[in-house]
């Protein structure tokens, strides 16, 4: 089969590789669409430490089942499916507690951090366990279904956060995850939603998707947020980048007693203003991946409550993937989401 392989850092090659073998509890999927995630773009150059070559990346995908393992009973050849990016153990303490995203030994498709390597979906075929599959509704296309994973990430973050009707919210980072968080906050009943980013184009996109205001990240963001929130700061803030400066913005923009939900994790470590967090009784929490939000994400896309089409920048053949990775890496203006079709 053909696949886009990260053979070395910053070296993506479209080439022939063996078709994946699959376990008795797995299915083989013919990939129809796979999205380039920001974590793949950052992983390409080795900066994240989670894409050690050689590796087939790609974890935001959809397709059609073409083969099933001997233990698979409830899925059939021809079923249209998407799948969770996290492969977790069913007989795990965390899974039994309803926290499969934190399960011991969990692995992520298209990731190789050192302790494991699991090839992903930038290929004609991918193999996944049947318990991470979700059926695609009839009205949802393969392209739309390839964006369910980041929608579910946003829904998970918003679901973890205590929100009251008409709460003010700040979203730091207006990329794809940030844009979906904006829509999820609107659906959750938030009042004023403010988005922070350096790029004017992304701020404008966020406003089209439901944000009330956009603030450039190179302004005095905390002061601007206070002006917009009766001098207090936002009730809740979300950080969707994962570097020191944006984490500080999220913390500095929330009111006393507010909640900061950290979604981005580009940097392994950031500085923490401990005294401020303690003396202002701030709640800081991480939001890890997804934990059961796929059905809600698919239904919200089907009903039009979450708009994925506006975020799509381009849909191109997998064979041209290396070029589009580079364009995303170079931060070409106007590019948010690129889908690759094998």
Q: Is 338 helix (H, G, I), strand (E, B) or coil?
A: strand
Residues 142, 175: one domain?
A: no
Question: What are the start-end ranges of the E strands in 48-143?
Answer: 60-68, 80-83, 86-87, 107-108, 125-129, 133-135
Which residue ranges of the chain lie beneath pLDDT 50? none
Q: Is 150 helix (H, G, I), strand (E, B) or coil?
A: helix
Per-residue pLDDT at 103: 95
- Percentage helix, strand, coil, to 5, in the chain? 30, 30, 40
Backbone angles phi, psi at 108, to 5 degrees: -115, 135
Q: Which residues contact 81 (CB under 8 A, 6 or more apart)?
A: 27, 29, 62, 63, 64, 65, 75, 133, 134, 135, 136
Q: How many domains, in total, are found in the chain?
A: 2
Residues 335, 236: one domain?
A: no
In a domain, 170, yes or no: yes
Q: Which of 306, 318, 317 minimizes the C-alpha distance to 155?
A: 306
Contact call for residues 171 and 234 (beta carbons, < 8 A) = no
Residues 134, 157: one domain?
A: no
How far apart are alpha carbons 95 and 193 in whole angstroms?
A: 33
Residues 326, 260: one domain?
A: no
In a domain, 84, yes or no: yes
Residues 167, 61: one domain?
A: no
CATH code (residue 248): 3.40.50.720
Domain that holds residue 119: 2-147+311-341
Per-residue pLDDT at 311: 94
How far apart are alpha carbons 176 and 152 in whole angstroms?
A: 12
Per-residue pLDDT at 194: 98
Q: Each residue of 163-222: pLDDT tens digit?
A: 999 999 999 999 999 999 999 999 999 999 999 999 999 999 999 999 999 999 999 999
How far apart are alpha carbons 145 and 299 in whole angstroms?
A: 11
pTM for the full model? Answer: 0.94
CATH code (residue 91): 3.90.180.10
Contacts 24+ apart (CB under 8 A), 226-233: 228/168, 228/192, 228/194, 229/168, 229/192, 229/255, 232/256, 233/258
Residues 112, 232: one domain?
A: no
Q: Say how many C-beta atoms besides its own lie within 10 A of residue 296's C-beta.
A: 19
In a domain, 36, yes or no: yes
Contact call for residues 2 and 32 (beta carbons, < 8 A) = no
Residues 168, 127: one domain?
A: no
In a domain, 25, yes or no: yes
Per-residue pLDDT at 268: 87
Residues 185, 141: one domain?
A: no
Q: Is 52 helix (H, G, I), strand (E, B) or coil?
A: coil
Residues 185, 241: one domain?
A: yes
Residues 127, 181: one domain?
A: no
């Amino acid at each position: 089969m053909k696949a886009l392989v990260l053979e070395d850092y910053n070296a993506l090659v479209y080439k022939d590789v063996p078709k994946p073998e699959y376990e008795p509890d797995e299915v083989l999927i013919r990939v129809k669409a796979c999205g380039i995630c920001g974590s793949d773009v950052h992983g390409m150059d080795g900066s994240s430490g989670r894409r050690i070559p050689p590796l087939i990346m790609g974890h935001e995908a959809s397709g059609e089942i073409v083969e099933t393992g001997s233990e698979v009973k409830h899925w059939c050849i021809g079923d249209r499916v998407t799948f969770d990016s996290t492969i977790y153990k069913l007989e795990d303490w965390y899974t039994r507690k309803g926290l499969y995203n934190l399960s011991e030994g969990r692995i992520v498709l298209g990731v190789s951090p050192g302790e494991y390597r699991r090839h992903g979906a930038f290929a004609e075929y991918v193999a996944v366990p049947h318990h991470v599959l979700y059926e695609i509704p009839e009205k949802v296309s393969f392209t739309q279904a390839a964006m369910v994973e980041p929608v579910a990430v946003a829904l998970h973050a918003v679901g973890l956060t205590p929100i009251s009707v008409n709460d003010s919210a700040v979203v730091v980072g207006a990329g794809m995850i940030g844009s979906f968080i904006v829509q999820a906050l609107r659906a959750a009943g938030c009042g004023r939603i403010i988005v922070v980013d350096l790029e004017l184009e992304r701020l404008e996109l966020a406003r089209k998707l439901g944000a009330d205001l956009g603030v450039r990240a190179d302004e005095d963001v905390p002061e601007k947020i206070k002006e917009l929130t009766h001098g207090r700061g936002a009730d809740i803030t979300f950080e969707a980048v994962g570097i020191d400066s944006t984490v500080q913005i999220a913390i500095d923009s929330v009111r006393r007693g507010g909640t900061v939900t950290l979604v981005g994790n580009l940097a392994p470590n950031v500085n923490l203003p401990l005294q401020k967090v303690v003396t202002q009784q701030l709640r800081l929490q991480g939001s890890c991946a997804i934990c059961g939000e796929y059905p809600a994400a698919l239904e919200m896309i089907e009903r039009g409550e979450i708009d994925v089409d506006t975020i799509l920048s381009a849909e191109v053949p997998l064979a041209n993937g290396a070029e589009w990775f580079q364009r995303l890496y170079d931060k070409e203006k106007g590019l948010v989401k690129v889908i690759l079709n094998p």
